[in-house]
Structure 1
């Protein structure tokens, strides 16, 4: 049995953690071969990135206006020219960087309005290549909309047939309200046919009249797809009047829909038509949680046509969310870690946590508590997946059986 000595858990208890056959077999005073002395520092389960775009990562196009619309145009100009090898090369760097910062679960949206589906095929290969260090779910994402161009609905079907894990949608990007509703209906039709979860970009706009989340909730309930639906962004929620949010959020909670804000990118993409004050670009996390909605966070982008920054560090995402939604009360700060851990695990439906019999997936940090973890945003000293150390100090990663330095960009 391998033993991690003196680990401080989220509860504050200091225990030894015994690992055997990839699982936690001892919590307390454990005897075996000491592999790490945690020195009473915080040890917690690894992070989730519940919304990302591996196909566009590190495409450092110069978006001069910094807007969503220029980013979309840049992406349209280049996506048909990308090769599988290029997509794989960039995505591998991003995955390794995220793992080094403590993320072991990554849900990525892949544009399937690219006619040859090269992007999807490339990311499916990446998913297989990195399975020893990270678990990836691939969402078939109709970036340009389903009914905006002939054949996009067929591409969405085909994407699920060849291996996408989740069915995506972007109803607010369709040309009419009616087409937006039809795109939601299509997503559920495909999901039921292939027994897949639904994971959509929903209401990513400042327009208070964009209310497709209510359609998603209705279709979730009608199709009995409870706890199998994720709605990404939902930035329009910050523009909905409070009475409407008060009415609709309990329905979202009832349907078991997880809402995934992406605070880094939406803080800079939203509010572009505002003077001052500018909207924050964040669905109201505190209000959603108070109404029983499951909320998790996504990183969304790293150095792509929409976002020029990003390090792959989910603590950076959490840090931004805490500031934008003022989650700075003592209890709020300590529970905020759930936004990138336990809440996300609930949506992913994966065995998770530091408990006897569960898989030994652990982060050994240099922080004394959650507040210091968030203050300093440091990578874990060790990242452990299935009982094996796969990353150290944010600098080194074990890939294909060999240790290598983590690249910050391709």
Structure 2
């Protein structure tokens, strides 16, 4: 049996709205055969009292640093990464719809090797920032399904270091897209599921008319039910307060009994909808138990382009959804593509933005904030018992350069160590603050 002991760690509790977001007493972590065996204070002494011989087990002193589950990026486009500088890909207006047009015009020369190479670079950045779980959309509005084939290969090749869920996503619409040989987007989405995609995608607000958008939502739920897959829809990514596809998707998922397996991504329109509508919608969302994935940096950049002032922030109602008990997770969305020129996979930056934009800055909310990147992300991805700091579960965790959740958020701290199934993926040199002790002594 392979045994490891990690000592002297503060644990992010993950308990919603807890006044003890971080364990006050340092904890020790016993890992056996790649799984958590025990977590608690004074483990070496207790194990010795039980007659356990730990003399040959490696011991790592974590120095009072914060330990939390790995980060989840629940909305990303790996196939688009680093395409922003391709000839013809420049998005002059900075709008969602021009981004889609630029991608449509420049994606014809994709190859599996090219997609995998760019995606590997993006994944490396995410891993170094503590992400071990990624949900990536793969554009299937391409008769060759190049992006999907590439990401399916990558999912298998990198499964020991990162879990990738793939969405069969019709970027140009289920019913508005027509391929060169008459292929409909809906048919290509279904082919993607047959090939092994984990989730059914859609983009109803991009369809040519409301009726086609509604038809696509019915198709999404039917396909998810038929193939037993998750759902993740680009839903209402618009400032139009009358874009109501999240309501239809939630109702259909509720009636099909698959609300917990359903995610509505973006839902920017809720930031423009009036309170009377949102109040009514909240009851349905609570009953359906659907998830929301918010991409704050990207939608801050893309939305509100038709506004002068006042200018909308472009994100969904994260604070109100959270207070209503509805699960919200976060995503990087883009890394240097036609929709967004930045993005480096650092989810602490994404968290920082959403706390500011949603005005979730009370001490209680800050102490609770890591859940957006951890347990809430795992809920969106439907990870179940394969995730979390619990005995019997895979020993996946991060060591952050902080001693509390508040300090981790306040400092936008770095990841010092990433562990997956008991194996250390990487370590990073600890803080250089000590180098300044002689220069600027503390008062």
Same fold, TM exceeding 0.5? yes
User: Once the 2 structures are TM-superposed, how far is the Cα of residue 391 of structure 1 from its aligned partner?
Assistant: 2.1
Aligned ranges for residues 4-403 of structure 1 at < 5 Å?
A: 4-10=6-12, 11-12=22-23, 13-28=25-40, 29-31=42-44, 32=54, 33-61=57-85, 62-150=90-178, 151-350=184-383, 351=385, 352-393=387-428
Paired residues of 2:103 and 2:338 also in contact (CA < 8 A): yes
User: Once the 2 structures are TM-superposed, how far is the Cα of residue 330 of structure 1 from its aligned partner?
Assistant: 0.3
User: Once the 2 structures are TM-superposed, how far is the Cα of residue 205 of structure 1 from its aligned partner?
Assistant: 0.2
Paired residues of 1:208 and 1:240 also in contact (CA < 8 A): yes
Structure 1: gaps (5+ residues): 396-410
Cα distance in structure 2, aligned partners of 1:380 and 1:38: 12
Q: Which residue of 2 aligns with 1:407?
A: none
Q: Which residue of 2 aligns with 1:408?
A: none
Partner-residue secondary structure (3-state), 2:350: helix
Structure number, greater radius of gyration? 2
User: Once the 2 structures are TM-superposed, how far is the Cα of residue 291 of structure 1 from its aligned partner?
Assistant: 1.7
Q: 1:162 to 1:387 in 2, by over 3 A?
A: same
Aligned alpha-carbon RMSD (Å)? 1.4
Cα distance in structure 2, aligned partners of 1:189 and 1:222: 11
4+ residue segments displaced more than 4 Å = none
TM-score, length of structure 1 as denominator length? 0.94
User: Once the 2 structures are TM-superposed, how far is the Cα of residue 347 of structure 1 from its aligned partner?
Assistant: 2.3
Q: Deviation digits for residues 140-193 of structure 1, max 9, x if unmatched?
A: 011111111332221111111011110001111111111111000111111111
Cα distance in structure 2, aligned partners of 1:213 and 1:252: 9
Q: Deviation digits for residues 32-85 of structure 1, max 9, x if unmatched?
A: 434421111111111100110000011123333322233222211111211110
Cα distance in structure 2, aligned partners of 1:25 and 1:210: 48
Paired residues of 1:383 and 1:391 also in contact (CA < 8 A): yes
Q: 1:235 to 1:394 in 2, by over 3 A?
A: farther
Cα distance in structure 2, aligned partners of 1:88 and 1:193: 30
Cα distance in structure 2, aligned partners of 1:244 and 1:70: 29
TM-score, length of structure 2 as denominator length? 0.87
Cα distance in structure 1, aligned partners of 2:255 and 2:94: 39
Paired residues of 2:250 and 2:259 also in contact (CA < 8 A): no
Partner-residue secondary structure (3-state), 1:331: helix
Paired residues of 2:261 and 2:382 also in contact (CA < 8 A): no
Cα distance in structure 2, aligned partners of 1:89 and 1:389: 24
Structure 2: gaps (5+ residues): 13-21, 45-53, 179-183, 431-443
Paired residues of 2:292 and 2:380 also in contact (CA < 8 A): no
Partner-residue secondary structure (3-state), 1:391: strand
